[in-house]
Structure 1
Amino acid sequence: MKSTHNNVGGRDGRLTQKKLKTKPVLIVLGLLLLGNMLWFIAWLVPNGPTGGNEVVATVGKEEISREDWMVAMEEQYGKETLLELVNARVMNTAAKKYEIKVTDKEIDLELSLIRTAQDSTGSQGLSLNSDMHRQKTRAQLILDKVLTKDVVIEDEQIQTFFDENQSLYNIPTTYQASLIVLQTISDAQEAVNELENGSSFDVLARERSVDASSASLGGDIGYISEGQENVDSSVVEAASKLEVDQWSSPVALSEGRYGVVYLQDIVEGQEFSFEDVKDHIKRELALEQLPQSVSPEAFWKEFDTEWFYGE
């Protein structure tokens, strides 16, 4: 299949930028869902040999066994989790057949773009450093490369897009942070005292924070960076002065309340050159030429794939 793409600048260029920015958002949502499911299921698996009749909870005299628990989890999450595992294996097989290579540098670029897009997803509490997320990103890159291997995009189009959207590839330093929001400075100082006495930041955020959205996530506000519109600048400033696994003193917030900031991780900023992102832009522009989106399931028949759930 061969196709060309014209009018990258102007209205089409703005549309292209929007699409390029949206794709990492969709990956974020997928990673978050998969991560939660796999973590929870892994948590259920016993560390040692235990019977399926092991009691994990009681309600009055009624017992809930580990087997009951696992069956309920399989019914709720089993299909989605197995689907991800099967699709990852299918994409690995496709990579061998079509001689597709995915480098660590390409995965790093995709994850960096995901971090910059995360603020617009509403998805929080997402760590992108695990092997699982790198494998998920690798599978997506294999799929994209297989789908676009015969699509022709001219070098001039790629250069034009880069020139008009260079800021997309100038990634600022980001801080994965958590926040407890309190009404007064005395409340904030009391929270700091509790943390110094051994309280868990996650638990304290759920119990004390007056910001409902982050409190429900144990205070996690995801990746933040300087200039981010939906994050109080004082929170970013406080995070930038912390060491990993350290919390701040009370911080005055713009709306008159106070916060305690906890730094989970730092991802240093990167500025990607045209050569760094040339293949990425080419692939994204090529994907726009496809008549419809394609999932790994489209390759199941080609690689003789069957699974527990049948058709």
Structure 2
Amino acid sequence: MTSRTKCRGWKNRLLIGTTIFSLSWSLGPVARAQDADVVGRVNGQEITADDLATAEQMYSQQLGQMPEDAKRSVLVDALIELKIVADAARAANVAEQDAYKRQLAFFEAQTLRSLFLEQRVAAAVTDAAVRAAYAEQAAKIPPVLERRLRHILLRSESDALEVISALKAGRAFAELAEERSVDELSKQNGGDLGFIAEGQIMPEIDAVAAKLQPGEFTQTPVATAFGFHVVWLEATRNRPAPPFDAVAPQIRQALAASEERRIISELRAAAKVEKLIADVTPPEAEDGHEH
């Protein structure tokens, strides 16, 4: 496939959904900033960086992770073709047809709805509101005890007893883990298993860890299906809430959706609404699972 053919394919995909954009152009020239960059011309009519930015916003999902220079090129080509066809439609008096006027009225209402809700939601869902919601939800998280454990895994009980004797003689736990443990992964970190919630590790280790104080190790080997463990409790804590930056986007999205529903509900309650067909609940969408 040639690069020209690929480019044409992208333009065709973009132009499938250009009704709103072409209708907005058909309303006539829009006042533009004097310093707007011109990215193309069609019969002397300018296509500006503002047009390009609007198109990019509308088609961002279709463009995916395309490199920026390729994205600009594809969008400008699409806008050029859009302008050419829109001019041809005007010359053919499509703008005088009832079908055009119906679509224009629909898309005008759709655009007004979108911008109105976007602006109202943005005014309500501020950074402060997101932080307040985070603090409220974090305070409701039930405490979960976590223990930071280290272990040394040995193949035999006698090996484990030797390690316990060495610990009692003052050897550092991390050093012994690196030297003696057969757990190849944790031995590289001095036997560190990280913070583990109750019930999230082998029950034999969970049971003995619950009896230790921070800084203590098991005085007898702990037998599991993997061998014999010597376990050290380094610290305990209640599991912290997820960091704000990790959950802020989801919180903002949830607040925005809630605010949008509130605005629509408020407006609907104040309006005189007549639905002249029966209310029918749509079927649930398929989720790919059998229930």
Give your verdict on TM over 0.5: no
Structure ranking higher on relative contact order (CA contacts 8 Å, 6+ apart): 1
TM-score, length-scaled by structure 2: 0.37
TM-score, length-scaled by structure 1: 0.34
